[in-house]
Amino acid sequence: MISRHQSAALALAAVVATTALTGCESDELESAMAEPGTTSTGVALVCAKDAKPLPLPGSLPDAAALPSGYVVTGVEKRSADRTVVTAVSPKPFSQTLTEIRTAFSTRGWTASEGEVEERDAESNFSGNGLRGRWAIRELPDCSDNTSVSVLIGK
């Protein structure tokens, strides 16, 4: 189980990722911070072995598909044809980072305005007529698991 502090940090990171296309919306930030242990989409953060997989929406372009083995735990449609996908990678942070970077750089996306820290990373991306942001976070209480959030829209 992740601590309240870690949950709040993950929720805040998810909000940053999901508001990147529209600016910071204080209601969304307050909502995410009010529910420790979940992402901004209300999806509980779980280890890959405990996750209940959901299908990716048909509207999500193939170029935005997550690498093989990732478990989709949440999909939320937003206004302006935006979609937020949350998932958990059953792989360590460094391997997940390499896979996400490779997936998004080899499928027609151009990265911008990103950063990598010891336990988290994020990047904006654009291409294929769309733009978005991905964010990954180490899940310290889930050995070698990494949370993944992707926001994509026009």
pLDDT digits (tens, 9 = 90+) for 80-112: 889 999 999 999 999 999 999 999 999 999 999
For the entire predicted model, the pTM comes to: 0.72
Angle at 44 between CA 55 and CA 121, to 5 degrees: 85
In the predicted model, is pLDDT for residue 30 greater than 70? no
Half-sphere exposure of 58 (CA within 13 A, CB side): 0
Report the pLDDT value the prediction gives residue 58, as an integer from 0 to 100: 85
Compute CA 55 distance to the chain's CA centroid, rounded to the nearest angstrom: 15
Residue of 61 and 90 predicted with greater confidence:
90
Report the pLDDT value the prediction gives residue 44, as an integer from 0 to 100: 57
